[in-house]
Every structure is written in C-alpha cells, then in structure tokens.
Homo-oligomer: A and B are copies of this chain.
Amino acid sequence: MDFKELKQFLCEHDNYIILTHKSPDGDTLGSAFALCSALRDMGKRCDVINNENLPVRYNFLYDGYYLQEFTAETVVAVDIADEKLFGSRLAKYAGKVDLCIDHHISNTGYAKNTVLDPQASAAALVLFEFFKDQGIPLNDFRAMCLYTGIATDTGCFKFDNTIPRAHLAAAELMKYNIDFSKINRRMFDIKSKERLKIEAMMSEQMEYYFDDRCSVMTLTSEIMSHSGVEPAEFDGLASIPLSVEGVDIGITIKQRHENVFKLSVRTTDAIDASAFCKKFGGGGHIRAAGCEIEGSLDEVKRAVLEQVQNVLKQADENR
C-alpha cells in the first residue's frame, strides 16, 4: 500500500483500534498515539490498545489520553513485525489486523494491508513521511510522539540504522514545541537507583580474557535474588561488556535455571556474533546475538571461552 492508498484507507474506515507490541518502546507507542490523535482529528473514533501497563518513562506520550467507547471495526498494528509480538492480551487479534504500518524487513505480512518501509529507521519515520506527503497536519503533541519514536529506534541518532531522512524528520519535528532534550534525558540518561546499583555491581565483577579483548559478565540466580531488586531491573544489561575500550566480544551469562544459562553476545565488526551463537544452537544479528547453554557455570564458561579463543584467532588471521 502506498501513502495515497493509506490515506484513502484511513478516510474510508472508522472505529479504529491501534495495537502496540509487547514490552512497548518509544516507537510503537509514539507511532500509535500520533496516529490515534490524527484519526480523532479526522473525526474518527480511535483507541490505542496495549498488551501491558505502559512504562512510566513514556507517560508524556499518554498523559492526556482518554479511552473512547465504541465497537472496534478496524484493527491497525504499528511497529509490529510479527503476530507473535502481540503478547497474550492482544493475541485475540491475530489474523484480524486490517492494516499494519511498519519498518521491519522481517515483517511477516500478517495484515490484510501493509505499509512497509524497511529502510526507515522507525515506524514513526514512516508515519511522519506519510503525514507530510498526504497533508495530514502535525501539531505539538503528534510531533513529540513521532520525535520520540525516531529517537528511540535510532538510539538518539547514534545507531547505524539512522538514515539522512531520520535527521530531516527531526529537523522538521523540532520546529514544534517539543522539549526534546528532556525527552532524550528521560529515555537515554535516567536510571532507577536500583538499576544504577546493579550496573555498578555487574561492572565491578566483570572478568576480562585474552588481553582484555573479551569481557564476561555473569548474572547468577544467587546474585539476582540477593540483590533485593526486581528481576526486570536485570534486563538490558548486555551492552555493558562491549562498552569497554579494546573489547571485541562482550558476553553476558544469565542463569535461567539450575544448569541452564542464557548468553547474550555483543561484538565489534571484528567478530560475527550470530555465527558465534550458532555454534551453541542460537542466532541473531551480526553484532548482537544469543543462545542457551546447558551445564554448570564452570562448564558453560569453559566452552564459551574456548570458542572465543577460536574466533579471536580467526579475526587476527583475517586482519
């Protein structure tokens, strides 16, 4: 579906519900609330439906939001590549999505109609360009939503998925009254007291191998339960090991059960993380991948470090 057809679709339908993906981030939420606001301004009835309670850090996106009461007729998914990402509460919408607006090249095509731009840095960038192309007006709120989506998915224009169009969009969105530096601070800088404590704890126990080219962070069940901190606070630590100067492969080992450990592997361009994890039956992206390994912690570490030695040797030979 192109932008013109999308506009026509939106005009011809009504009573929308917009789905966001589970563990919602700034892109799925920003896109959903921007589209909802635009549809309501077009005289349509529209609600945003989420799988779980919305994260407090994004409350600026939904603070003024209110539910409308109507019978849903048109189901829209934003930033959702696969029905598996609906989560349990939204599972009932599988097979019933009328329109999907997305930017993931891995989109499974589950919706009856799809607007997909796999080059776009964010779903919010697709929406921004659609609004602009089809003359759907922006306002401060919608600009803030779309900026948040683009900033989230590009790591504030830092990651290599940042394309010139993302910067051009930001330049236009910033002309609206958005406190973007406050938004960025909330999204990228602020941590809970507990999170800061955990990061400190994990950084202090980091182990280094092979002339500090490999760093390993280990999260045992014991560490997690003794910390007195919510398990969710232990998510997303996997980028820490690779943040150390000189490290080419940063590994996070997280205990799942007695003898089961989950590996998160992050690498520089010297090493293929996906190939590394495939050796252990896992997979992922070239710079970020994962796998699960059974055995005692000692056994797991030994196997992993042996494989690290192999790939570092290979990397040296390829230089």
Query: A154 to nearest B CB, angstroms?
Result: 9
Contacts of A182 in B (CB 8 A): 269
The residue that A168 contacts in the complex, of B157, B168, B193, with Cβ under 8 A, is: B168
Query: A230 to nearest B CB, angstroms?
Result: 13
Interface pair B162/A167, CB less than 8 Å apart: no
Contacts of A159 in B (CB 8 A): 181, 184
Contacts of A157 in B (CB 8 A): 156-157, 167, 170
Query: A58 to nearest B CB, angstroms?
Result: 14
Docked complex Cα distance between A212 and B168 (Å): 39
Tell me, yes or no, whether A94 is within 8 Å of chain B by CB.
no
Interface pair B212/A243, CB less than 8 Å apart: no
Interface pair B170/A174, CB less than 8 Å apart: no
Contacts of A192 in B (CB 8 A): 244-245
Tell me, yes or no, whether A164 is within 8 Å of chain B by CB.
yes
Q: Which among A73-81, A112-120, A196-204, A253-261 touches the partner chain?
A: A196-204
Docked complex Cα distance between A162 and B163 (Å): 18
Docked complex Cα distance between A165 and B168 (Å): 9
The residue that A204 contacts in the complex, of B164, B204, B269, with Cβ under 8 A, is: B204
Docked complex Cα distance between A190 and B160 (Å): 16
Q: How many copies does the complex hold?
A: 2
Contact with B along A160-182 (1 / 0, CB 8 A): 10111101101110110000111
Most chain B C-beta atoms within 10 Å of own C-beta, residue among A157, A164, A190: A157
Interface pair B191/A245, CB less than 8 Å apart: yes
The residue that A199 contacts in the complex, of B193, B200, B239, with Cβ under 8 A, is: B200
Contacts of A203 in B (CB 8 A): 196-197, 199-200
Interface pair A196/B156, CB less than 8 Å apart: no
Contacts of A199 in B (CB 8 A): 200, 203
Contact with B along A126-166 (1 / 0, CB 8 A): 00000000000000000000000000000011111011110
Docked complex Cα distance between A1 and B267 (Å): 48
Query: A271 to nearest B CB, angstroms?
Result: 14
Interface pair A189/B243, CB less than 8 Å apart: yes
Q: List 12 A-B contacts (CB under 8 A).
A: A157-B170, A162-B180, A164-B174, A165-B171, A167-B168, A168-B168, A168-B171, A190-B244, A196-B203, A197-B204, A199-B200, A200-B203
By Cβ-Cβ distance, the 6 closest A-B pairs, closest first, are A160-B181, A167-B171, A200-B203, A164-B171, A200-B200, A167-B167
In addition to A164-B171, A192-B244, 7 A-B residue pairs with Cβ atoms within 8 Å of each other are: A158-B184, A159-B184, A164-B174, A165-B171, A196-B206, A197-B203, A201-B204
Residues of A with Cβ closer than 8 Å to B?
156-160, 162-165, 167-168, 170-172, 174-175, 180-182, 184-185, 188-193, 196-197, 199-201, 203-204, 206, 208, 212, 239, 243-246, 269
